């Protein structure tokens, strides 16, 4: 009978944990831009970790890794479902990677739950913050899914990022999950302890009465909700201060000199290749540019998306390949007759040491200068997309990916600033604008505007493009510079220095955006965040490591004392 009851109890907890894990993964997906609502249900982010922490608390150290892996795989399956449209293998890789990562994170969260007891939820809060930062740098760095990015459309709350950065705001958004969990869990623990106290037979045993009182009084003290309630009150005050900062300390750039720009969206199909397709795309880009210029003759800068022109412009000028050479001649002739400057995404080719190196580049042609022969200023992408633009090892995986759409690029080696009549800008290609450090270093280098060239058309989902846009918004706020996004299929837009969207083109159509952006002085003092970087995020990691190390040492010492009598 005891074994049967035990089995029923284990099965009950398994079902509860399994359901909570699936629920948590759905909350994670829907708090971000998703297939139901492309802008995301941002308010869910304030509660998204509550079911996760309950799963961890109710699981054993032996099986908590499974729920972590399940949560990681399902979260990114629901969140990044659009990866299937690019290559199903990429989805398998992403889910597998996050199965492993979240398995380890859940083990660490459970370990904190076991050794800290009273303050476990606070340490778990720090572990979550550390995890969300540590998953972003490096070759496999993936900024998609950082909780604070869900707030991209809540403009007042994100203004604080010019001080704290996105990872500072992350603490403000994640804390309610942890403190509400603590209040609920401690309340449940207190009810359970009182029930146990009322039914404990040791109450009537005079010899054990003192131990009985001590045991339950100590347990009730550990389950006190006083500290979580106080800290929740502190959070409410901090949240109100954050909103006040966003509402009342706005940065006004209306008095700055304004420059009119146009961002082109030609809505190409990335699955179609060949010279005829490249020529067709070029004609669309030129026609849209002329249409935009006709709408507003004051346009000084026209921007084309990532790899908008596929044959290398420089390498195919008067080349032996007649088709490519003719396409380049058409482009150069067009540029040489237009009274404005162009930023063009190009598959730039360099031949050196008997090697041919392909770069994902941005070429800047200054108002009919350096056109014949083509000698534009060039920036080449420095952070390549793993398993799509960069595959670190040879083998069957690399062969498969190359046969199914991946294209290996060489890495750029330096940051580059361009200057258009005092507008000093840097180009962030593709998902480079999702990395805080790349954007920050460009601003330190003198950039006062970001131009992002992207092609997310392969995803065939507007939610994917909104997820990308959400991160671009934060780069403008953190560094207080405007951003211009020219994309193949969306979201082409202009972002103000406060992160608000000034104007955005509809997705999946041939169109353009025309508007003005403020020209910001290169000698302007950088924001606190630009000067200090992700120091807050690093402090999470250091503090978490120290707390876990010190507590582990204390536990080991106490265990040894208990063994010795």
Q: Where in the sequence numbering do the catalytic residues fall?
A: 306, 381, 430
* H or E element at residue 478: helix 462-479
- Are 444 and 438 spatial neighbours (Cβ–Cβ below 8 Å)? no
Q: Please tell me the distance from the alpha carbon of residue 453 to that of residue 506, in angstroms, as a whole number.
A: 17
DSSP reduced 3-state for 367:
coil
Nearest 5°: phi and psi at 504?
Answer: -140, 140
Please name which of 405, 433, 430, 472 lies closest in space to residue 269, comparing C-alpha atoms: 405
* H or E element at residue 33: none
Structure tokens at 46: 């304030």
Please name which of 428, 422, 425, 418 lies closest in space to residue 370, comparing C-alpha atoms: 418
Q: Please tell me the distance from the alpha carbon of residue 468 to that of residue 82, in angstroms, as a whole number.
A: 12
Q: Please tell me the distance from the alpha carbon of residue 276 to that of residue 323, in angstroms, as a whole number.
A: 9
Extract long-range pairs of 5-12: CB within 8 Å, 24+ residues apart. none
What separation in angstroms does the CA of 221 have from each of 225, 536, 555?
9, 32, 20
Contacts of 238 (CB under 8 A, 6+ apart): 172
Q: Please tell me the distance from the alpha carbon of residue 234 to that of residue 159, in angstroms, as a whole number.
A: 20
Q: Please tell me the distance from the alpha carbon of residue 465 to that of residue 486, in angstroms, as a whole number.
A: 12
Please name which of 482, 523, 477 lies closest in space to residue 253, comparing C-alpha atoms: 482
How do 341-352 and 301-303 pair as beta strands?
parallel
Q: Please tell me the distance from the alpha carbon of residue 452 to that of residue 268, in angstroms, as a whole number.
A: 17
* H or E element at residue 354: none
DSSP reduced 3-state for 328:
helix
How big, in percent rounded to 5, are the helix, strand and coil portions of the chain? Answer: 55, 15, 30
Q: Please tell me the distance from the alpha carbon of residue 110 to that of residue 118, in angstroms, as a whole number.
A: 14
Q: C-alpha 446: how far from its chain's center?
A: 24
Q: Please tell me the distance from the alpha carbon of residue 199 to that of residue 3, in angstroms, as a whole number.
A: 22
Q: In this structure, how many other beta carbons lie within 10 angstroms of the beta carbon of residue 210?
A: 9
Extract long-range pairs of 326-334: CB within 8 Å, 24+ residues apart. 327/275, 327/278, 327/279, 327/282, 328/374, 330/279, 330/282, 331/282, 331/286, 332/371, 332/372, 332/374, 334/286
Q: Please tell me the distance from the alpha carbon of residue 490 to that of residue 506, in angstroms, as a whole number.
A: 7
Structure tokens at 131: 């995890």
Structure tokens at 256: 């700055």
């Amino acid at each position: 009978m005891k074994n049967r009851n035990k089995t029923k109890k284990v099965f009950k907890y398994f079902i509860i944990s399994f359901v909570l894990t699936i629920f948590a993964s759905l909350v994670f997906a829907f708090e971000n831009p998703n297939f139901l609502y492309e802008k995301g249900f941002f308010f869910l982010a304030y509660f998204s970790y509550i079911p996760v922490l309950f799963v961890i608390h109710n699981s054993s150290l032996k099986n908590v890794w499974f729920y972590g892996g399940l949560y990681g795989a399902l979260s990114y399956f629901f969140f990044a479902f659009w990866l299937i449209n690019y290559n199903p293998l990429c989805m398998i890789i992403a889910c597998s990677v996050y199965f492993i990562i979240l398995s380890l994170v859940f083990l660490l969260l459970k370990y904190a739950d076991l050794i800290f007891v009273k303050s476990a939820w606070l340490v778990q809060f720090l572990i979550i913050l550390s995890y969300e930062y540590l998953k972003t740098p490096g070759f496999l760095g993936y900024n998609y899914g950082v909780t604070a990015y869900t707030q991209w459309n809540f403009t007042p709350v994100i203004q604080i990022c010019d001080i704290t950065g996105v990872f500072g705001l992350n603490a403000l958004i994640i804390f309610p999950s942890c403190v509400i969990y603590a209040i609920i869990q401690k309340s449940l623990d207190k009810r359970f302890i009182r029930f146990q106290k009322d039914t404990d037979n040791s109450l009537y045993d005079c010899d054990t009465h003192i131990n009985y009182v001590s045991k339950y009084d100590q347990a009730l003290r550990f389950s006190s909700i006083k500290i979580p309630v106080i800290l929740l009150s502190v959070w409410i005050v901090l949240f109100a201060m954050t909103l006040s900062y966003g509402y009342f300390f706005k940065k006004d750039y209306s008095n700055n000199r304004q420059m009119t720009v146009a961002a082109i969206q030609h809505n190409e199909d990335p699955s179609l290749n060949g010279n005829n397709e490249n020529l067709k795309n070029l004609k669309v880009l030129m026609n849209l540019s002329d249409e935009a210029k006709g709408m507003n003759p004051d346009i000084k800068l026209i921007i084309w998306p990532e790899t908008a022109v596929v044959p290398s412009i420089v390498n195919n000028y008067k080349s032996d390949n007649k088709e490519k050479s003719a396409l380049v001649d058409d482009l150069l002739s067009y540029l040489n007759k237009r009274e404005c400057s162009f930023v063009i995404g190009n598959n730039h080719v360099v031949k050196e040491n008997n090697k041919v190196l392909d770069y994902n580049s941005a070429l800047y042609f200054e108002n009919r200068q350096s056109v014949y022969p083509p000698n534009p200023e060039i920036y080449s992408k420095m952070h390549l997309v793993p398993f799509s633009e960069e595959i670190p090892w040879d083998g069957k995986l690399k062969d498969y990916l190359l046969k199914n759409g991946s294209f290996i690029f060489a890495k750029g080696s330096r940051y580059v600033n361009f200057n258009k009549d005092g507008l000093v800008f840097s180009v962030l290609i593709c998902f480079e604008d999702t990395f805080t450090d790349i954007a920050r270093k460009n601003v330190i280098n003198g950039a006062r505007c970001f131009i992002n060239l992207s092609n997310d058309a392969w995803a065939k989902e507007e939610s994917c493009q909104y997820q990308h846009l959400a991160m671009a918004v934060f780069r403008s706020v953190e560094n207080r510079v405007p951003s211009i996004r020219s994309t193949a299929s969306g979201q082409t837009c202009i972002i103000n220095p406060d992160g608000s969207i000034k104007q955005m083109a509809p997705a999946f159509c041939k169109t353009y955006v025309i508007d003005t952006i403020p020209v910001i002085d290169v000698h302007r003092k950088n924001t606190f965040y630009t000067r200090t970087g992700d120091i807050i995020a690093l402090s999470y990691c250091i503090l978490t490591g120290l707390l876990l190390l010190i507590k582990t040492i204390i536990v080991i010492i106490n265990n040894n004392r208990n063994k010795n009598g």
